[in-house]
Amino acid sequence: MSLVTTHVLDTAAGKPARGVPVRLESAAGPVAEGVTDEDGRVRELGPERLEPGVYRLVFDTEAYLGPDGFFPEVALSFRITDPEAHHHVPVLLSPFAYSTYRGS
């Protein structure tokens, strides 16, 4: 199962980022959409099985940070090589910076 999940943490406030719209895309177009829950998580995004290839997560950070946030969106491209693996892509967010990594 090639499940995609994400977690957004507001590092400036020291809490989960609730209500961030997230879109999963492939080269063919949108695959799925979600919104982070009260714990800053989207627990399932997309179908249970994604074919190998390059995908993109787009976070509408302006919806969370407002117009004063420097990055109105964060777009992260990643590659799925194992369609059976779980792919967790967390984001650490603040008004003027973000970072990411492959989580577990």
Of the pLDDT bands very low, low, confident and very high (cuts 50, 70, 90), residue 79 is very high
Instruction: Give the model confidence (pLDDT) of 5-33 as tens digits.
Output: 999 999 999 999 999 999 999 999 999 99
Cα distances (angstroms) measured from residue 27 to each of 13, 69, 87, 91: 34, 28, 18, 22
Which CATH number goes with the domain that contains 87? 2.60.40.180
Of the pLDDT bands very low, low, confident and very high (cuts 50, 70, 90), residue 2 is low
Task: Name the domain count of the chain.
Answer: 1
Enclosing domain of residue 42: 4-100
Distance CA(89)–CA(41), nearest Å, equals 10
